[in-house]
Amino acid sequence: MLRPFREYNVPLHPYTKGTNGMAKSNRGKALWKLPSRGRGTCPVCRATRIKLLYTRTLEDGVKAKVCKRCRAGA
Ligand SMILES: [Zn+2]
Protein backbone atom coordinates (compact mmCIF):
# COMPACT_ATOMS: atom_id res chain seq x y z
CA MET A 1 0.00 0.00 0.00
CA LEU A 2 1.40 3.36 -1.03
CA ARG A 3 2.03 6.13 1.44
CA PRO A 4 3.39 9.67 1.04
CA PHE A 5 7.17 9.82 0.61
CA ARG A 6 7.79 11.59 3.93
CA GLU A 7 6.15 8.86 5.89
CA TYR A 8 8.71 6.37 4.65
CA ASN A 9 11.57 8.46 6.06
CA VAL A 10 10.36 9.17 9.59
CA PRO A 11 10.91 7.88 12.11
CA LEU A 12 14.37 6.68 11.27
CA HIS A 13 15.20 3.08 11.88
CA PRO A 14 17.75 2.92 14.73
CA TYR A 15 20.43 1.45 12.47
CA THR A 16 20.07 4.24 9.95
CA LYS A 17 20.57 7.08 12.41
CA GLY A 18 23.46 9.37 11.62
CA THR A 19 25.82 8.92 8.73
CA ASN A 20 27.01 5.47 9.68
CA GLY A 21 24.51 3.14 8.12
CA MET A 22 25.24 0.23 10.37
CA ALA A 23 25.97 -0.46 14.01
CA LYS A 24 29.33 -2.00 13.15
CA SER A 25 31.35 1.17 13.70
CA ASN A 26 34.65 -0.66 13.40
CA ARG A 27 34.01 -1.93 9.93
CA GLY A 28 33.58 -0.73 6.40
CA LYS A 29 33.13 2.86 5.40
CA ALA A 30 33.13 4.14 8.97
CA LEU A 31 36.88 3.60 8.96
CA TRP A 32 37.34 5.70 5.88
CA LYS A 33 36.57 8.86 7.82
CA LEU A 34 39.56 8.21 10.06
CA PRO A 35 43.13 9.22 9.21
CA SER A 36 44.70 6.49 7.06
CA ARG A 37 41.30 4.84 7.10
CA GLY A 38 41.84 3.60 10.60
CA ARG A 39 45.19 2.01 9.85
CA GLY A 40 48.52 2.74 11.35
CA THR A 41 51.33 1.29 13.41
CA CYS A 42 50.30 -0.45 16.59
CA PRO A 43 52.29 1.04 19.49
CA VAL A 44 52.26 -2.26 21.33
CA CYS A 45 53.28 -4.89 18.80
CA ARG A 46 54.70 -2.52 16.16
CA ALA A 47 52.70 -4.05 13.39
CA THR A 48 52.55 -1.61 10.50
CA ARG A 49 49.57 -0.74 8.35
CA ILE A 50 47.31 -2.66 10.66
CA LYS A 51 43.83 -1.53 11.62
CA LEU A 52 43.91 0.23 14.97
CA LEU A 53 40.42 -0.31 16.20
CA TYR A 54 40.66 -0.17 19.95
CA THR A 55 41.61 2.52 22.41
CA ARG A 56 43.68 1.16 25.22
CA THR A 57 45.32 2.89 28.14
CA LEU A 58 48.93 1.89 28.22
CA GLU A 59 50.88 1.29 31.40
CA ASP A 60 52.19 4.84 31.46
CA GLY A 61 48.65 6.21 31.33
CA VAL A 62 48.75 7.23 27.70
CA LYS A 63 45.72 6.39 25.65
CA ALA A 64 46.64 4.80 22.37
CA LYS A 65 44.90 3.09 19.52
CA VAL A 66 45.91 -0.53 19.32
CA CYS A 67 45.20 -3.41 17.02
CA LYS A 68 42.83 -6.18 17.91
CA ARG A 69 45.68 -8.52 18.85
CA CYS A 70 46.76 -6.12 21.58
CA ARG A 71 43.32 -5.20 22.83
CA ALA A 72 42.93 -8.11 25.22
CA GLY A 73 46.45 -7.94 26.62
CA ALA A 74 45.74 -5.06 28.99
ZN1 LIG B 1 49.18 -4.58 18.28
Residue 46: its pLDDT value, please? 94
How far does the centroid of ligand 1 lie from the alpha carbon of residue 29, in Å?
A: 22
Residue 48: its pLDDT value, please? 94
How many C-alpha atoms does 64 have within 13 Å on its Cβ side?
A: 18
pTM over 0.75: no
How far does the centroid of ligand 1 lie from the alpha carbon of residue 71, in Å?
A: 7
List % helix, strand, coil for the chain (3-state, nearest 5): 30, 15, 55
Residue 19: its pLDDT value, please? 54
Residue 50: its pLDDT value, please? 93
How far does the centroid of ligand 1 lie from the alpha carbon of residue 31, in Å?
A: 17
Q: What is the mean pLDDT of each run of 10 residues along the chain (74 residues)?
A: 58 53 68 81 93 89 91 65
Domain locations along the chain: 36-74
How far does the centroid of ligand 1 lie from the alpha carbon of residue 74, in Å?
A: 11
